[in-house]
Amino acid sequence: MHAPPLAPASKRDAISGVARDAKAGAVLVLDDGRVIYVAGLSGWPADVVGRRIRGSGTLVVASLLPRATQDESGAWSQGVAGDSAGETWLDDAQWAAEGPDAAPWTVTISDGAGNVTTITQPQGGPVAWRYRPVTPAESSSGVYSGGDPASGTLAPAQVDALWTLVRAARGGPAGQGRAKGTFLVEVASPNGPRAVVVPRSDAADVEAWVRALRAE
């Protein structure tokens, strides 16, 4: 949606707020309480409502919503305040949800050699991780080892970094099988299961995150 501006539009800007649904459509509620309407979006996906959104676009001030009016009996119609200069809209928006899915959830990362890292968030309690390496007895060569088993818990910043990687993961659906060296990222949560096969050339960030986890 491209609304005619009532005030000069800013340059393309970054914005962050909490996703909410209003009668007029999807909005972002900023930390200072301001409400930004997302142009062209009638509502957020169910698994996004209430979560923090990082987005970008062009901020435009325009009067596009019905104005509240008062009839002869004194009753007010629904709408925004009549003396409002206009609503703030995020036009040509690009956005991504931040943070994890609702608990309980599990993220499983299988690397190109078959080593598996499992990260689990129960309904309550810390986020736990476990690394299960391939042993020589399991490897096709009979000599390869993925190292020592390891486990621990994640700090909030590590959880955020994990989910940034998960949401950025691009590749083919898991049902099509895996080529040698690819990474498999699987998610199980109340939002439903999903999985993606990430090509080795695009898996550097995921590989680095797992490596850093094991190095602690």
At residue 72, the pLDDT reads 65
Token code pair at residue 36: 């930004």
Q: How far apart are CA 165 and CA 159, in angstroms?
A: 10
At residue 63, the pLDDT reads 77
Q: Is 107 left (phi over 0), alpha (psi -120 to 50) or beta?
A: beta
Intervals of the chain under pLDDT 50: 1-10, 82
At residue 209, the pLDDT reads 94
Q: Which of 97, 120, 151 is the last residue of a domain?
A: 97
> Are residue 111 and residue 77 in the same domain, yes or no?
no
> Are residue 119 and residue 210 in the same domain, yes or no?
yes
What's phi and psi for 129, nearest 5 deg?
Answer: -130, 155
> Are residue 63 and residue 143 in the same domain, yes or no?
no
- Domain, as residue range, for 69: 13-97
> Which residue do the tokens 């676009």 mark?
57
Instruction: Answer whether residue 140 is part of any domain.
Output: yes
Instruction: Answer whether residue 6 is part of any domain.
Output: no
Instruction: Answer whether residue 4 is part of any domain.
Output: no
What's the structural domain count of the chain? Answer: 2
Instruction: Answer whether residue 124 is part of any domain.
Output: yes
Instruction: Answer whether residue 132 is part of any domain.
Output: yes
pTM: 0.63
| Cβ-defined contacts of 175-178 (< 8 Å, 24+) | none
> Are residue 109 and residue 59 in the same domain, yes or no?
no
At residue 74, the pLDDT reads 63
Instruction: Answer whether residue 3 is part of any domain.
Output: no
At residue 7, the pLDDT reads 43
Helices 156-168 + 204-215 axis angle, to 10: 160
At residue 8, the pLDDT reads 46
